[in-house]
Each structure stands twice: as structure tokens, then as C-alpha cells.
Amino acid sequence: MSELVALAVQPRSTTGTKAAKKTRAAGMIPGIVYGHKQDPVSVSVPAKELDHAIRVQHARTFEITLNGKKETVLIRELQWCHLGKEMYHIDLWRVDAAERVKVTVPVELRGAPKTTGGGVLEQPLHLLHIECFALKIPEAFRVDIEGLTLGHPIHVRDLALPEGVKVLDPAEAVVVQLKLPGQEEATEPAADAAEPEVLTAKKPKDGEAEEK
């Protein structure tokens, strides 16, 4: 599960392109904290600390102290520079332990088929749309494919889910399969649920649009 990691944040009194550049030059990432019908707050986050939390600890939820008050937040959006090397801006959404959220979680394959029958490995589904408690977001769904055989794909309905996790993708959607070369592509059913709130909901405007 995604860990709840302590993250240092500092309120920002200035916004806009120039202020954002100065923030990044100082080793900080400009961001915003919002949600739960509270006023949005512009913040800055230590770049190295955030990078370690994401890459090493695989954190998506954090405990922050803002204006003397401890809050739990979830990464709603993390923007990168055009080269994809440096973090550019972060949106943090206030949550609580009893709250269920909609997020996407990567699907990771483990092992290799013992026999392919001449088929080529294909993974139509790389991300799962799920609903779960904010503090119990799975790091990833790991799928063992050693027993995968031609003509017997692994579907969403075949996945073992952690307690409290609901998958929003169609049960019949193919996660991974062995397909003969030249075989017609399988049509993946469209999800019957709305896109995850964590990825699609718009943040409140506070001048950050200039920074992007």
C-alpha cells in the first residue's frame, strides 16, 4: 500500500511565472493544497524530499503541517518539465482516512509464460482505474504470467484485489494475453465509470495557471 509519508511544505505568498522560477531555483517545487471546501493555499515543497518520497518510498499520500495544522493530502497532479526530467508543479488534495478516492494504479507483469505456443505477449491494460480508501492505495497490481497460455488471456475479473479495492474497469477487459502474429486486435470495452476524480477534477484558480 502507498505509505503515509511526512512532507515539509511552506506557504508561498507570491505566485506567477517569475515567482515559480525563483522557487525552483531554490530547490523547491511550487504547488497548491486544496479540497474539503477549504481555501486553496499556495505552497512550496523541497524537490529532493519529494523526489525521494515518490521514487523510493512510492508514496502518494502525505502528512503535511500547514499553518500549524496537520493535514493528510494526496497527489492529485504532478507536472514535469517538457523533457520529463524535473518536477514542475504539484497539486495536493486534502483527504481523510475514511474517504474513498478514485485513482489509477499501474499493472506490472511478473515472470514469463512457460510456453507461448507461437504467440506474442501483449498487455492491453497498463493502468487500472480503482476506487479505494485514500490511505490504502495499492502501489501497483502485480500479475504473475508464468501460467499464461495462448487463447487464455488474463482479464480484470481474474485479478486478486486487496481488501476494500474496487476496480472501475470492465470485468471482461483483457489485462494481458498471448496473441498470434497477425491476429486481429481485441477491442477493449470502455469503462462504465467516470474518470478518476484524482486525475481529472480541476483545481481552483489561484494564479498557478501562469506557472505551467
| pLDDT value of residue 199 | 39
Is the pLDDT higher at 194 or at 64?
A: 64
Residue 173 has pLDDT above 60, yes or no: yes
| pLDDT value of residue 190 | 45
Same fold, 4-95 and 101-179: no
Query: Mean pLDDT across the stretch 153-176?
Result: 96
| pLDDT value of residue 93 | 95
Helix/strand/coil (H/E/C) assignment for every residue in 8-60: CCEECCCCCHHHHHHHHHCCEEEEEEEECCEEEEEEEEEHHHHHHHHHCCCCC
Residue 188 has pLDDT above 80, yes or no: no
Residue 144 has pLDDT above 90, yes or no: yes
User: Quick one: CA torsion of 80, 175, 178, 110, rounded to 10 degrees?
Assistant: 70
Q: What percent of the chain has pLDDT over 90?
A: 62
Is the pLDDT higher at 132 or at 189?
A: 132
| pLDDT value of residue 184 | 63
DSSP 8-state assignment for residue 152: B
| pLDDT value of residue 189 | 47
CATH class belonging to 4-95: mainly beta
Residues 17-62: tens digit of each pLDDT: 888 899 999 999 999 999 988 999 999 999 999 999 988 888 889 9
Where along the chain do its domains lie? 4-95, 101-179
Residues 93-137: tens digit of each pLDDT: 999 888 999 999 999 999 999 999 899 999 999 999 999 999 889
Q: What percent of the chain has pLDDT over 70?
A: 84
| pLDDT value of residue 81 | 83
d(CA 79, CA 99): 25
| pLDDT value of residue 135 | 87
CATH code assigned to 101-179: 2.170.120.20
